Chains A and B, each alone.
Chain A
Amino acid sequence: MFALWIECFKMGLRELWRHRLRSFLTMIGMIMGVSVVIICVSVVQGVKDSLIGDIRKAGKNMMFVFTEDTREGIGTIGVQVHTNLSRDDAEAIELECDGVAMASGVQGTNVLVVSDTSTATAPVTGADHKYTAIRNWGIEQGRDLEPFDVIASRRVCLIGQTTMRDLFGDRNPINRTVRIGRISLKIVGILEPKGVNPLGMDEDNALIVPLPIMLRDIMNRREPDAILCSAKSDDDVELAVTQITELLRQRHKLGDADMNDFRVSTLKEKEEQARTISNQMTLLMFFLALVSLMVGGVGIMNIMLVSVTERTREIGIRMAIGASTKAINRQFLIEAGVISTAGGSVGIILGVSGAAYISSAIGVEPLMSPAIVGIAFLFSAGVGVLFGLLPARRAAGLNPIEALRHD
């Protein structure tokens, strides 16, 4: 019985080879379907991975506490001067929450920064000396902010790679000064390159200044909008969020009925979001690809039906000399299966190379899992067999006498 399978397989291959062009054209549907599945899944998964990588890179188990306006009638659009958070809150979080390793008040704004030769608009962040540690951001040259810089409100700053290039070109900016409004700041350190964040913003376009300078001298306000925290470990993030929430509710003297006047958001949430969105995308792509596989399958069925009609005489001859219905059925089923798996295999090759090409074009590492390739292959074979059933049955059901007389 096994021998008959092999014979049918050989005959199928020979038949397809004799109709090379037609076989190839029939395969195109499968090729498209399978390559699209592989390209989409691996690129989307690759994008997801790089997104999550970027999110993780943004900081160590990072959490943000933002002020949230609970007063009626006041929107959060525009410059928000009022804040519910304070530097004392940040200090309390760091001292009292065991899930939290570090906390720093942060305040950011976009301002015009002037050097001796150029001007540039840069996002300036006011923070304390723990900021670089929380952001997991190294110093390339010079020194980090020190506690004393913050306490004494010294007019110093750290500069990011992009801002440095914009303001100083190729010159070394260490110990040079930049000016924001009337305030002159001495550059004491250069931040390591950090790249583009998931929102597409250049993290290297940055200027870090001590928080008091930012609040008092640049923005003329008392307390920061946000507190940046880092949990002790990845597992502590949820605990830390609960602790921070409890502590701040207590410190802000909120009753049980009051809403939080702040919002805690974690990178883990963002990571989950990225994961969810990309998984949904993958699913969507998968269904689209499924449709194209089905279309490919119908194409195969169509050609196989034509082929059955065209080869009626051949089928008659085979039957006359002793082919059973099973043998005829199998022959056509195998032909359909071979077309679709061959198409699937070409699709896999195209898909893998296409995914590599597209990924490199958009700058992510494609995530190629053997499972996807395996599933795509099995799926293409399945589609061929499924859509080969009808033509095969039709071929096997022919009346040998009429088939022999057919021309």
Chain B
Amino acid sequence: MTDATSITPSAIVSTIDDPSVPITVKLRDLHKIYDSGANAVHAVQGLNVDIPEGQYISIMGASGSGKSTLLNVLGALDVPTRGTYHLANQLTSKLSRDELAALRNEYIGFIFQNFNLLTRSTAVENVELPMVYAGVPTRKRREAALSALDKVGLADRANHLPSEMSGGQQQRVAIARSLVNNPRVLLADEPTGNLDTHTSGEIMKILDELHTKDGMTIIIVTHDPGVAEFTERVIILRDGKIIADQKTPRCGGPAVPDVRALSMSAPET
């Protein structure tokens, strides 16, 4: 742990071992089966996961590991076939489409690999959008959006279109957008996947700050061990099951395995 120079992220004080912290995300025996006629795909098979409030966690897995499915369920974009998902003590597995939409709006902030900004809307309009659906009045909305942009260091780019910004700037707009409704959990899907190393570092720094300063619960879905090493805990999926659930080196755990190597070797064995 003293050899801090070899690892970019610094050691941090973590709540990871504190049992008194309330659980934000609770999955119990979670199954997701895609039934396309003859062959059903069992994408996620009986997951049990507790994520305490304020935890910074990464979910890793090669493609086909059930990672995306889990992300969709965690993001309330999809409902599990079996099992339960509690988000901030709310059972989400039985909600209707519109209830899920409201839940996403209020409780979840999304950050995507390809940013997913509205291309014909300016930065500030993009950041305002979650508040539009939350019914925040226009003036308040604009203020909140501008302060969120300020927080990610883009106050001067408020009226630029996404096409006029670099990838890193676009992702910062997306982060600002994910934060404006004060969500309970931030879900990042390969947030640095489309960015170069330097910009990736910037983005990870912002997420790290959100975790350390604001105590935000952050779930990063990635296959990049470098990204996972920023977090406190890593869950590794393979074939819809958890094969590892461990602390990262940052919190005194073992080294994060490279899931890309796992997927490479899988067909050969």
Contacts and interface: CB of A to CB of B under 8 A. Distances in A.
Q: Do A and B bind each other?
A: yes
Interface of A: 3-4, 7, 11, 14-15, 18, 313-314, 316-327, 400-401, 404
Interface in B160-213: 177, 181
A321 B102 contact: no
A4 B137 CA distance: 10
Interface string B56-74: 0000000000000000100
30 contacts: A3-B135, A4-B133, A11-B132, A15-B120, A313-B116, A314-B118, A314-B119, A316-B116, A317-B116, A317-B118, A318-B118, A318-B133, A319-B77, A320-B75, A320-B116, A321-B110, A321-B130, A321-B133, A322-B102, A322-B106, A322-B130, A323-B101, A323-B133, A324-B97, A324-B98, A324-B102, A325-B97, A325-B101, A326-B98, A401-B72
Given A3-B137, A321-B133, A322-B104, 19 more contacts: A3-B135, A14-B121, A15-B120, A314-B118, A317-B116, A317-B117, A319-B104, A320-B116, A322-B106, A322-B130, A322-B134, A322-B181, A323-B133, A324-B102, A325-B98, A401-B72, A401-B77, A401-B78, A404-B112
A317 B121 CA distance: 13
A287 to B, nearest CB: 40
Interface of B: 72, 75, 77-78, 97-98, 101-102, 104-106, 110, 112, 116-121, 129-130, 132-135, 137, 177, 181
Contact of B101 (A14, A317, A324, A401): A324
**9 tightest A-B contacts by CB?**
A322-B105, A322-B133, A324-B98, A324-B101, A321-B130, A317-B116, A322-B104, A323-B133, A400-B77
Contacts of A400: 77
Contacts of A18: 120
Contact of A321 (B97, B129, B135): B129
A213 B71 CA distance: 109
A325 B110 CA distance: 19
A11 B118 CA distance: 12
Contacts of B78: 401
Contacts of A317: 116-118
Contacts, number: 63
A325 B97 CA distance: 8
A399 to B, nearest CB: 9
Contacts of B77: 319-320, 400-401, 404
A7 B102 CA distance: 17
Contacts of B116: 313, 316-317, 320, 404
Given A320-B77, A320-B116, A327 B133 contact: yes
Contacts of B134: 322
B72 to A, nearest CB: 5
A226 B110 CA distance: 93
A212 to B, nearest CB: 89
Contacts of B121: 14
A401 B129 CA distance: 19
- Which of B110, B121, B133, B177 gathers the greatest number of chain A CB atoms within 10 Å? B133
A319 B120 CA distance: 17
A319 B117 CA distance: 12
Contacts of A313: 116
Q: Which of A11, A313, A316, A322 has the most CB of B within 10 A?
A: A322
Contacts of B177: 321
A98 to B, nearest CB: 76
A320 B110 contact: yes
B120 A322 contact: no
A318 to B, nearest CB: 7
B264 to A, nearest CB: 24
B104 A320 contact: yes
Contacts of A14: 121
Given A322-B104, A322-B105, A324-B102, A4 B135 contact: yes
Contacts of A7: 132
A14 B161 CA distance: 14
A177 to B, nearest CB: 86
Contacts of A327: 133
Nearest to B132: A7
Given A323-B101, A324-B101, A325-B98, A318 B120 contact: no
Contacts of B101: 319, 322-325
Contacts of A314: 118-119
B187 to A, nearest CB: 10
A318 B129 contact: yes
A29 B100 CA distance: 39
B125 to A, nearest CB: 9
Nearest to B97: A325
A100 to B, nearest CB: 75
Contacts of A401: 72, 77-78
Nearest to B71: A401
Contacts of B118: 314, 317-318
